[in-house]
Every structure is written in C-alpha cells, then in structure tokens.
Amino acid sequence: MDLDTVKARAGPRQFSPKDDMPEEYRKAATRMIQFHANSEVMGGYLDKAFTRMAPSLDRKLACTAKTQDEIGHAQLLYRAAETLGVKTREEMLDELERGDGKFLNCFHYPVSSWYEAPMIDFFVDGGAMRRQATLKSTSWEPYAHAMDKVCFEEGFHVKHGEDILRELMRSSKANQERTQEVFDTWWPRILQFFGPMNSESTHNDFAQQVGLKTVSNSELRQAFLNAYIPKAEKYGLEIPDEPRIEYDEENGQYRVVEEDLDWDEFWTIAKNDYEGSYEQIGSRRQRHEAVSWVREAMDGWEQSSAGTTPQAAD
C-alpha cells in the first residue's frame, strides 16, 4: 500500500497487521506507540515511590494497584507496537534501559513528597485521558484496541488522584499551602505534557495525515485547560501567573500563552539530557538488571521444555 492510499483511507481502526503498510507508516506508528509504552513504564516508577510515601494502608494499596496497571498498560502497548514488524518488545525495552528510548516530560522529574501524588495522579493522568481517549480512534487497530482497556483503567487513576487532592485541600492550612507550592512547580510541566506547539512538532502533521493522531497537541492542551482550570479552582488551588492563561469570554475557552513555557528545558528533556533523566533512566536500568535472573530462568525453562507437552501439576 502506498502513502497516498494510506492517507486516503485513514480513519478509526482502519489498518491492521493483515495490511501491507508502507515503511513510513510502520516506523511512525512504532515510534508513537513505543513512546507511549515507555511513558507507562516510567510513570509506574513514580507511583511506586508514592506507595512508600502514602499516609495510610488504603492509599498504599491504591498506589500499588495503580503501579501494576501502568506496567500492564506498557505490556499491551509494546505488543501493539510489535505488530508493526519494526522492533521487538525486547529491543524497545533495551533502548529504554540504555537511555535511547523517549518518554513523556513529566516522568523525567523525580518525586520527593506525597503532595506530588495528585499532580501526577489527577492532573497528569487527566491530561493522559484527554489524549488517550482520542487514540481509541487511531488508524492502527491494535493500538486502538489497547486503548480500550487503558482508558477504562486510567479513569480510575484520575478519580484516585482527585480524591487525594480533595483530602489535602480540605485538611490543615499547612497541607493546603504545601499542595499549592507543589502545584506552582508542576503546573508548567503539566501544560507541556501535550508536547510542543503545533508549529514546532516534528511528527504531528504526518501522524494526523495517516490517522495515527486525530487531535493536535495545542488542541489537546486547550481542551485540558477548559476542563481542569475549573477543577483546580474548585479545590482551592490558585492558577499561577506564569505561564499566562488567557480566557476568551466569547467562546468560553482558556488558552495558555505557549511562548511563556520553558521550551528549552522541554527539548533538553526530549533528548533524555535533563539532570533528572539520568536518575530516572538509571533507576530503570538498575531494576532491569536486578531481575535478569528471572529472565534467564524463564529462557532456560523454555529451551529445556521445547517440543514437550506440559504436564499437569502434582
């Protein structure tokens, strides 16, 4: 299938492994899904940290369950990426370990306090839901199928984060002030979650032309602002003065002045060259090496049992 045919046919769940897709499409889809899968893995490390910080057993259990969900999402997405025939799951995981795999900006920042939990679990995951809901209509069918399960579970994650925010902002004055301080720090990062401005995005136009994406970065950012500024204010958070947020009364929409965002830092992060990136990727590498014996044992079992019929357990 040539690219012109792909662009003409592009639509929700239009293409599958049975289709002979052009190399440009397969590489673009692999890059996009691999980025998403990597982000699920690295997001799980933040939730793992929150498990230790959580102030109650119930919160610890919820954070543990969320971590399991995120790693499960990653496995679904790596498998969806494999169906394109460009890279194997093992190759993609090795790239992440080496520091070659890209992932979302918010997961490059290590967390150090429980007050950051709602920043990730409510605002970042809320942004993810905005983006992922549109991907249920992506043109690569295995990716869209994975999004059905991912979006269902992410909805619970957002409610989990909202409940933490509600609890903090309805408790002591000290907790409210600390949550506001953390929100001030995370707010610009959250707005950059959706990626660069349309004019600066390298892959956006092609991804939309072939149906991999259905909504642009700037459109997703605006939709997030319209939904989440009222929610932040509902719980008593004040929107920082920078970056500037403009409100169009005629259309009832918020818009961030995108030039106010620190895009130099964003592009440094995009190259995995941010100071926090080394810590996060190093943590991933250590954990990958720590369980190498499990992979070796499983490989050994597969080799020794090749060609045999599994026996019932005693």
Statement: residue 313 has pLDDT above 80: no
Q: What is the predicted pLDDT for the residue at 288? A: 79
Domains of the chain: 3-293 (1.20.1260.10)
pLDDT, one tens digit per residue, over 19-36 is 999 999 999 999 999 999
d(CA 191, CA 197): 11
Cβ pair 269, 277 in contact under 8 A: yes
State how far the alpha carbon of 94 is from the alpha carbons of 15, 89, 131, 177, 253, in Å: 28, 9, 26, 41, 43
pLDDT, one tens digit per residue, over 128-151 is 999 999 999 999 999 999 999 999
- Tell me which residue has tokens 């509600």: 166
Cβ pair 216, 204 in contact under 8 A: yes
Q: Please choose, from the candidates 39, 50, 312, 31, the residue with its C-alpha nearest in 3D space to the C-alpha of residue 194.
A: 39
More confident residue, 12 or 280: 12
